[in-house]
Every structure is written in structure tokens, then in C-alpha cells.
Structure 1
Amino acid sequence: MDSLRKRLQRELEQQPDIQIQQSDSWGLPVELINIPFTTIKRTTMDILMKMILLTVQKLDVSESKIIAEFLAVEPLFIEDLFNKMEAAQMIELRKESFELTSIGVRQLQSGVYEHPPEKAEKKFYYSACHDSILCEQPEKIFTAKVKEFRLARKFTRSAQRLDDEQLRATLLATGAEAAEGPLQKVMDKIETPRTLDNQLIPCVEFYVYNRAENNYFTRVWNTLTEEWDERLEKLIDEQAPTRK
């Protein structure tokens, strides 16, 4: 922690009008959270799948081999696609024959096959002081034994109260959706975040005097985001400066 503080101090003092008055180290409380969600892959529907759906739509089909015989296609190919479409809720057995569901009709009309949803999850760090998710969980984080941030107890909101829009924006920013050629992967459902751990992230605070402008202000280095944290600086200057 001392080596980090010295490096940051040298960086600040390279500015000719800056004079460091005081410095401090403390821990920013964060929640390590897990966001479960599901994704759906969309691909252009192939000819055989379209033919199967059209056959189901027009004929009484009680099993896949009937379609194989009608289309003169190897039964194994039909059975595999038939099972996929049933799992994707595109077709369903009603009474004694299969029929297209509303999902099957929609996909047939659009010509786009939606694969069954797949489960996924991502881990992030949420800060109540920022009321936002700071970043995806990195491979390593800076650790040190530090006291808690003096303003931390004023901010108690949990990540579980984040709305879908905030969660979606966070997941999108970390590549939860993708597109490559005819394949699209889109998010379907986002579940409530689950807290895995509570941690204190070391931060380094400097109380600084600018001789040219004759004013004091705070700089805070956040070791999780590895940058100067304007939100924490503003909180401190407004509510709890080191000195006035």
C-alpha cells in the first residue's frame, strides 16, 4: 500500500501548482454479486426445418417418421430436428397430432430459428456509495488490511435493488450479447443478483492544494477500477473533507 501511495504522490506532484496536504488509506465496501441470466441464439432457419413446420401445419402428424416418409428424408435427421423444435416449444402434441404453437408460427413466418434458452452468469462488484456496478470481477484484486471508508454507513442500498435496465446495461457492456454472421445471441431473462461476498477495496486519498487557483480538493485512487474516482472525490469534498 505504501508503494502505491508513493507512486500516486509522485504522479500528483509532477503538476507544478499541486501541493499535497494530507493523505490517507481506507476501504470502500463493495458486494461481489452474481447475475444469472439466460440467452437465446437466433439463426436463419434452414430449408428442412421450414419443410417440417409446413408439413406439421398442413398434415396430421403423430410422430416424426411420418414426416420422414412424406419428405423422403432420412428419419434420424427428421427426428433430431423434431426433438429440437419440441424442446424450443415450436410444436406440441395436441390430442393425437402435433401442431405449431404461436412460437412456431412466428418463427416460421420470420424465417429465424430461436434455439432453446441457455443459462449464463457473470460476477461483478457493486458499490452502494456509487449506487452502481463498478466492474466485472477481475482475475485479481488489490488486497490490504484497511479501515472502512468514513462515509460508507450513509450508503446502504443493496445490489438486489438494481432494476432490469441497470442490469441489462451492465451485461451488454461486458459482451453478454453477440452477433457473428447469421448467428445472433441475445439476452432473454435477467434474474435478481445474488450477493456472494462483502469486501473492502483499498483506496488512497489525497487532500490537495492548488496554488495557482488557491483552492483545496480531494483525489481518490480506486484500486478496483485502477483509476481516479470522481464519485468518491465529490462525496468527500461535499460531506467529509479531511480538512477545510
Structure 2
Amino acid sequence: MRDLEKRLKKELQQNIKVKIMHSAMWSIPIHSVEAEFIAMKRTKMDVLMKMMLITFQKAKIANAEEISELLLVEQLFIQDLTEIMLKTRLIKKSESIYKLTDRGFQQLENGIFEEEQEAESQNVLYSPSHEAFLKGVLKEAPEEQLDIYRYVKEDYLDEELSFENESIIHALQANGLEKKEGDVQTVISEIVSTTDLFIEDVPCVEIILYNKEEDIIYARVWNTLLERWDETLENQLNEKERLVWRKAYLDS
């Protein structure tokens, strides 16, 4: 961490207009949250599936043999596709007759086949200091024990977190869990559950700078999780402490 601090100071001092007034290191708590979700695979509906759905919609079909004879398609293919459509709830059997469901009608109309995938899970990282999920990789904690960020809530260790499903989906999207390959698109359709697993302290480097030419004092904060300057934390410190810094470093 000390080497990182030195590198950041050297980088900032390349601007001859600024002077470093103070530096410090502290950490922010990051929650590792396990999100269990269900993804949906969307593909362009093939011609045979369309023909079968239209047939189920317009005719009274009781078995695969009947539709095989109507469409002149091998019965084995018809049977396999019928089972898929039953499983994905595009059709149902009512009074021994296959019928389209509302879901089947909608997908036929859109020409897109949606297939629900097995539930899976991935960890996402939440920062109470940002009130947001962050994208990054947790690293091994430094040997040096750092103070916690001074604007973290006192009871943060006992805080019970709850999340809107939309925010979880956005975090998973940021991790690349939605993708498109050719005509196949995978999207997250449902958040099953979230579990707060543990809290990791992520180091940050705070550097207070003074620009004499512009007569402005301000903070830069390097977030080691994001591996970049963190505007959110900088803005928090600038809003809360700029007058304090001026009195401490310039008016004394």
C-alpha cells in the first residue's frame, strides 16, 4: 500500500500547479452478496416450431402422430419438439387436446422462442458508502490494519441489506452475465434470492491537494477495488470537509 501511495503522489505531482497537503489510507466495507438468478435464452423461432404452434392453434391435435401426418414431418422430430413446448409452457393438454397457452401465443406472435435456464448464482459486490454495486475483484487484504472510512455508519457490521431486483440485475449485467451470440440472446429473467455472505475491507488512498493558481483545495481518492480514482468518495469528502481543510492547511 505504501508503494501505491508513493506512485499516486508522484503521478499527481506531475502537475506543477498542485501541492500535496495531506495523505491517508483507510478502508471501505464491501459486502459480497450471492445472487441466485434464472436466465432466459432467446432464439429466433424455427419454421417447424412455428408450423406446429399454428397447427395446435387452429386444429384439434391429440397426439404427435396426427401432426406428423399433417405437416409431413418425421414423428420423432414432432415428439421431441412437442415435449420441449410442453416443458416451456408454450402448449398444454386440455381434454386430451393440445392447445396454445398465452405464453405460446405471445412467442408465436413475436417469432422468438424463450427457454428458461436452470437457476445459477454469482457473487456481486455492494458498497454501502456508494449505495451501489461495484465491479471489481476482491484482493488479499494488506498486512497493515487500516481505519474504516470515517463516513461509514457506526452499526455497519450489523446492518441488514435489502436490494431491489433491478439493481441486482444491473450488477449481474455489469459482470457480463447477459450476452448475445449470433441469433441467441441470454437475459436475466428473475432474481430468486440474495444472501449477504461476508464483508471485506477494501483499502483506499486519500490525498488532499491544493491548487494555488485556482485557490482550491480538494481530495483525490484511489479505490483499490475499482483500481481507479473514485469520484463518489471524492465528492463526499469535498462536500463535507473542504472548509475544514482550508482552515487546517491554509489559514493556520
The TM-score with structure 2 as length reference comes to 0.83
1:90 aligns with 90
Q: Calculate percent identity across the aligned residue pairs.
A: 34
Residue correspondence of structure 1 range 39-118 to structure 2 within 5 A: 39-118=39-118
- Deviation (angstroms), 1:225: 0.5
Q: 1:124-155 CA distances to partner (integer Å, 9 max, x unpaired)?
A: 221111111121x42x5252132211221269
Q: 1:197 to 1:40 in 2, by over 3 A?
A: same
2:183 aligns with 182
CA distance in 2: counterparts of 1:112 and 1:220, whole angstroms: 47
CA distance in 2: counterparts of 1:86 and 1:182, whole angstroms: 23
Q: 1:167-211 CA distances to partner (integer Å, 9 max, x unpaired)?
A: 343333443333343323233223453212201101111122222
* Runs of 4+ with deviation above 6 angstroms: none
CA distance in 2: counterparts of 1:7 and 1:240, whole angstroms: 25
Contact 1:37 1:120 in 2 (8 A): yes
CA distance in 1: counterparts of 2:241 and 2:200, whole angstroms: 22
CA distance in 1: counterparts of 2:228 and 2:140, whole angstroms: 13
CA distance in 2: counterparts of 1:108 and 1:184, whole angstroms: 17
Gapped regions of structure 1 (runs ≥ 5): none
* Backbone CA RMSD of aligned residues: 2.6
Q: 1:50-82 CA distances to partner (integer Å, 9 max, x unpaired)?
A: 222233233333332332344333222111111
1:141 aligns with 139
Q: 1:240 to 1:199 in 2, by over 3 A?
A: farther
2:207 aligns with 206
Residue correspondence of structure 1 range 6-17 to structure 2 within 5 A: 6-17=6-17
CA distance in 2: counterparts of 1:155 and 1:212, whole angstroms: 42
CA distance in 1: counterparts of 2:29 and 2:116, whole angstroms: 39
Q: 1:177 to 1:210 in 2, by over 3 A?
A: same
The TM-score with structure 1 as length reference comes to 0.86
Secondary structure in 2 matching 1:188: strand
CA distance in 2: counterparts of 1:13 and 1:44, whole angstroms: 56
Contact 2:124 2:172 in 1 (8 A): no
Contact 1:177 1:185 in 2 (8 A): yes
What amino acid is the match of 1:128?
A: P
* Range that drifts further, 15-24 or 155-164: 155-164
CA distance in 2: counterparts of 1:188 and 1:229, whole angstroms: 31
Gapped regions of structure 2 (runs ≥ 5): none
Q: 1:27-49 CA distances to partner (integer Å, 9 max, x unpaired)?
A: 11111122333222222222221
